[in-house]
Amino acid sequence: MKLLPGLIAALLLLAASGCANQPPESPSSSVDTGVIVGPVSNPRNRARIHTELAAAYYSRGSMAVALEELRTAVAADPEYASAYSMFGLVYMDLRETKLARENFEHALRLSPNDPDINHNYGWFLCQTGQEEKSIRYFMRAVGNPLYPRPWRSYTAAGVCSMRIDKLKDAEQFFRRALRLQPSDPMALLQMGQISYRKGKLGDARNYVSRFNDLVSPTAESLWLAFRVEHKLGNRLAAAKLASRLRHRYPESKESQALQRGEYE
């Protein structure tokens, strides 16, 4: 099943600026003022600040600047695990597989129970043909009771399971994600795909409609919605979806399949 790399990356990659071994928040601070707690000269604080800057540059595609910020971060505190996880994400995008793996594994040695690091390493494994192995790290992430976004790891596990045609496992992961976060877009879209393949057209329509209401419709989601309505015999709804797909994504594979009449 074809997936959307850009959408997946945006929805599944956790912010690598989350801090492992971060000191607990001061109990006297009930309002987040945005002010950094602790002296800026503290090595851990400097490492955290530069890692957060690196994450911001990474999100904008400025990889060279992100790498410079990360070098500054690990120079300030060589034991700051989140910086190495961020290094892994940057090198993964640059397709420097060996460097990405080395940095993720170093981050895990420093902080083996950090859920964000486990999630990111799992996603790296999934992107490098090790989907089966990746599931272990997603499950380590969700096993941490302090993990604030476990649904992302369940969704990632579902995506990676689908890549190796383990649809039953994938469905279970997506359902777990949606129990925790009913508006998780990727889980909704992939549950729509699974429901369509199982012939559950009503469920497929519900999932893809929720996806299209939450985020800007993609070529994949419009194509799925069109095929659902086409199979249900709703000609007017199918025609409207076909028109949207042709106008918004004229060069997409889905639009080309539509023109050829290849609906399956």
- Is there a single domain that holds both residue 130 and residue 1? yes
| pLDDT class of 9 with cuts at 50, 70, 90 | very low
Share of the chain above pLDDT 70, in %: 84
CATH number at residue 13: 1.25.40.10
**Which tens digit of pLDDT belongs to each residue from 25-34?**
222 222 332 3
Quote the pLDDT of residue 180. Answer: 97
pLDDT tier for residue 39 given thresholds of 50, 70 and 90: low
CB 214 within 8 A of CB 188: yes
Residue in the block written with tokens 């950090």: 114
**Would you say residue 252 has pLDDT above 50?**
yes
Are residues 2 and 107 located together in one domain of the fold? yes
Residues 98 and 221 grouped into a single domain: no
- Checking if the pLDDT of 24 tops 50, the result is no
12-21 pLDDT per residue, tens: 554 333 333 2
Domain span at residue 202 reads 185-264
Q: What's the structural domain count of the chain? A: 2
Question: What confidence score (pLDDT) does residue 40 get?
Answer: 53
- Determine the pLDDT at residue 7: 43
pTM, 2 dp = 0.81
**Residue 157 within a domain:** no
Q: What tens digit of pLDDT does each residue of 182-209 get?
A: 999 999 999 999 999 999 999 999 999 9
Mean pLDDT of the chain: 87
- State the pLDDT at residue 33: 27
Per residue in 120-147, pLDDT (tens digit) is 999 999 999 999 999 999 999 999 999 9
Q: What is the pLDDT of residues 48-75, one digit of tens each?
A: 999 999 999 999 999 999 999 999 999 9
Token pair for 243? 């028109």
Has residue 160 been placed in a domain?
no
- pLDDT of 151 > 50? The answer is yes
Residue 30 lies in a domain: no
Is 217 within the bounds of a domain? yes
pLDDT of residue 264: 85
| 101-123 mean pLDDT | 97
C-alpha span between 131 and 44 (Å, rounded): 34
Is 109 in the same domain as 14?
yes
55 located within any domain: yes
